[in-house]
Amino acid sequence: MSWSRHGGGGTERRGYHHGNLREALIEAAVSLIAAKGPAGFTIAEAARQAGVSPAAPYRHFRDADALLGEVALRGFERLEAALTRAWANGTPAPVPAFEAMGRAYLGFARDEPAYYAAMFEAHVPREAAPGLQSAGDRAFAVLREAAERLAAVAPKERRPPALMMALHVWSMAHGIASLFVRPDPSRRKLPMTAEELLEAGVLIYLQSLGLAGGG
């Protein structure tokens, strides 16, 4: 395999062929977005960071949107993995597992700002990368299935449509992430952590469905 000779870094010697330029460009895009936001990313700069001429990226990506779309796609895959891990198939119990999933969403926004920005802030057309749309669908499906499991446990007369539950929780998590987690220069200060805010909100919401203790 050619890229085994080229492995990780950027400064390393290489021949005429890069060997793994596609991956290197994606990595470069991620680090550029992390540093300067999605608007600060350009194909030319990504090429420079990959140590390659400005024309080279066009062998792999039609334009900037295609590259951004690939970053977004991988972001959705990572988010899906993180949510799946947190939900842990509803263990030890559905409600705490659901809460863990909420924390995972915020953790993703915090720890992977570049992916998050490509997914939700770059306004990449869904056709930009093949599979982008379905990767997004799969990430949301994790949340929806968890909501279905929860809904099944709820007292029948209070049970809302699981899809709606999923949308409510996603919206609250996403709103909190956008307003209080993403590094925005005009971000408002919170009197608690974003995680505490979300956890409280979800608990209040679930209580109403007969799913969480007391109050």
Residues that bind DNA (CB under 7 A): 2, 15-21, 42-45, 48, 52-56, 58-60, 63-64
What is the x/- site pattern for its own copies, positions 76-115, by CB under 8 A? Answer: ----------------------------------------
Kindly tell me which of 40 and 175 has the beta carbon lying closer to DNA. 40
CA gap 1, 5 in Å, rounded: 8
CB of 31 to its own copies, least distance (A): 18
What is the DSSP secondary structure assignment for residue 160, as one 8-state letter?
Answer: P
CB 75 within 8 A of CB 124: no
Kindly tell me which of 44 and 200 has the beta carbon lying closer to DNA. 44
CB 67 within 8 A of CB 43: yes
CA gap 14, 1 in Å, rounded: 15
Kindly tell me which of 56 and 179 has the beta carbon lying closer to DNA. 56
Position 63 contacts its own copies (CB under 8 A): no
The one of its own copies, DNA, none whose footprint includes residue 35, by CB under 5 to 8 A per kind, is none
The one of DNA, its own copies, none whose footprint includes residue 98, by CB under 5 to 8 A per kind, is none
Estimate to the nearest angstrom the gap between the alpha carbon of 200 and the chain centroid.
Answer: 22
CB 98 within 8 A of CB 87: yes
CA angle 159, 160, 166 (to 5 degrees): 125
**Of 30-59, which residues contact its own copies (CB under 8 A)?**
37, 39
CA gap 8, 126 in Å, rounded: 30
Kindly tell me which of 96 and 160 has the beta carbon lying closer to its own copies. 160
CB 104 within 8 A of CB 46: no
CB of 35 to its own copies, least distance (A): 14
Q: Which range touches its own copies (CB under 8 A), out of 12-20, 50-58, 81-89, 172-180?
A: 172-180
Q: How would you label 37-52 residue by residue, b for 16+ Cβ within 10 Å and e otherwise?
A: ebeebebeebbebbbb
- The binding site for its own copies (CB under 8 A) comprises 37, 39, 72, 120-121, 123-126, 132-133, 136, 140, 157-158, 160, 163-164, 167-168, 170-176, 178-180, 184-186, 188, 190-192, 197-198, 200-201, 204-205, 207-209, 215
